[in-house]
């Protein structure tokens, strides 16, 4: 499924190493996110995709004190990191002295995405997976 990555929280889209989710993201943060107690569904939530506009709402992250934290999209980040070697995400910001966290950023991020770049997301079922931190998908309007 080829879609354009999009994130309504941050316009800075980057390609990251999927392995960075296990090595550079704060695992306690990932373990305590909404719905983290539920089994990881190998499906996309219908709220994440806007078929008519060819968009996929990618997860976002920020860096604080050399560690990456999920902004939105724990399920998406975890799911995609298990299925692809690289994945598009939105970078929100450094939440500390940038110099201190630049090293982590450089180890996580492969490159910036170019405007209107598309990405081949794995073909997975699309379903309503229940409560979603995004709530009603107002970004689709």
Q: What is the pLDDT of residues 43-79, one digit of tens each?
A: 998 989 998 999 999 999 999 999 999 998 888 999 9
Q: What is the pLDDT of residue 36?
A: 64
Residue 101 near residue 40, CB atoms below 8 Å: no
Give the residue with greater pLDDT, 91 vs 39: 91
Does the structure show a pLDDT above 90 at 105? yes
Phi, psi at residue 90, to the nearest 5°?
-105, 135
| pLDDT band (50, 70, 90) for residue 90 | very high
Cα 107 to Cα 1, 58, 85, distances in angstroms? 28, 20, 14
| pLDDT band (50, 70, 90) for residue 134 | low
What average pLDDT does range 79-98 have in this prediction? 94
Could you state, in order of their start, the residue ranges of all structural domains in the chain? 2-134
Does the structure show a pLDDT above 70 at 136? no
Helix (H, G, I), strand (E, B), or coil: what is residue 138?
helix
- Number of C-beta neighbours around residue 105 at 10 A: 18
| pLDDT band (50, 70, 90) for residue 39 | confident
Q: What is the pLDDT of residue 100?
A: 78
Q: What is the pLDDT of residue 56?
A: 94
Name the pTM for this structure. 0.90
């Amino acid at each position: 499924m080829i879609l354009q990555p999009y994130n309504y929280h941050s316009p800075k889209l980057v390609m990251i190493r999927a392995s960075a989710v296990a090595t550079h993201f704060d695992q306690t943060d990932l373990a305590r996110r909404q719905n983290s107690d539920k089994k990881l569904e190998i499906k996309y939530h219908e709220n994440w995709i806007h078929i008519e506009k060819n968009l996929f709402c990618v997860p976002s992250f920020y860096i604080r004190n050399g560690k990456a934290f999920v902004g939105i999209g724990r399920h998406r980040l975890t799911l995609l990191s298990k299925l692809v070697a690289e994945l598009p995400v939105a970078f929100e910001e450094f939440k500390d002295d940038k110099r201190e966290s630049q090293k982590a950023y450089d180890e996580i991020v492969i490159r910036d995405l170019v405007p209107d770049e598309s990405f081949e997301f794995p073909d997975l079922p699309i379903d309503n997976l229940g409560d979603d931190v995004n709530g009603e998908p107002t970004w689709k309007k």
